[in-house]
Amino acid sequence: MKRILAGLGVLACGAILATAVVAADENDKDTNKKQLSDKEFVQKVSAGGLAEVNMGNLARTKAADPAVRQFAERLVRDHTKANQELIQLANRKGWTLARTMNQHQQQEYDKLLKLSGQAFDREFVQHQVKDHKMDIRMFQNEAENGKDKDLQNWAKQCVPTLKEHLQIAQKLADNQKTNKERTSR
């Protein structure tokens, strides 16, 4: 019970703190080259989940485009749910979750914090496209090659939502590009 409460506390703190998105830091570049252990996967995903919620919260307040704000709402809702599921799984398995985001995620957040308007929207959406491509590969890899069956199943269940997020982000990026081209004519 204490672990569950502690995990929920970490999630709540992460959702309140202004931080960053799951991002490909220098160590994450290796994620696609080798199979992560289940514990490594849980660490990366828990830090990333906190980052997604916090980045979504930032975008809900800073985004200029209502469609970007709507996407941010979806990110917060979906990743909060996934974070709660991961907390429960980690508590049952005795795995330690990340309590903070990695350095790269914080740097990305700080970068976005300085932006506003269309510049914010563009950077946020581009980052989400890049991020979700990496996340999908990482989750699919865990679903196919992970050692813990429960974690494999959880990762497999998350993939469709991550793919939906990527589709939305790509559509927003395409719309931004089209709008930029129209205004530059």
Domains along the chain? 2-17+38-177 (1.20.1260.10)
pLDDT in tens, 165-177: 999 999 999 999 8
* Least confident range of 6-15, 89-98, 139-148: 6-15
The CB density around residue 10, as the number of other CB atoms within 10 Å, is 18
In this predicted structure, the answer to whether residue 67 has a pLDDT above a threshold of 90 is yes
CA-nearest of 65, 38, 45, 39 to 119 is 65
Model confidence at 89, pLDDT cuts 50, 70, 90, reads very high
Question: Across all residues in the chain, what is the average pLDDT?
Answer: 84
**Would you state the pLDDT for residue 182?**
59
The CB density around residue 165, as the number of other CB atoms within 10 Å, is 22
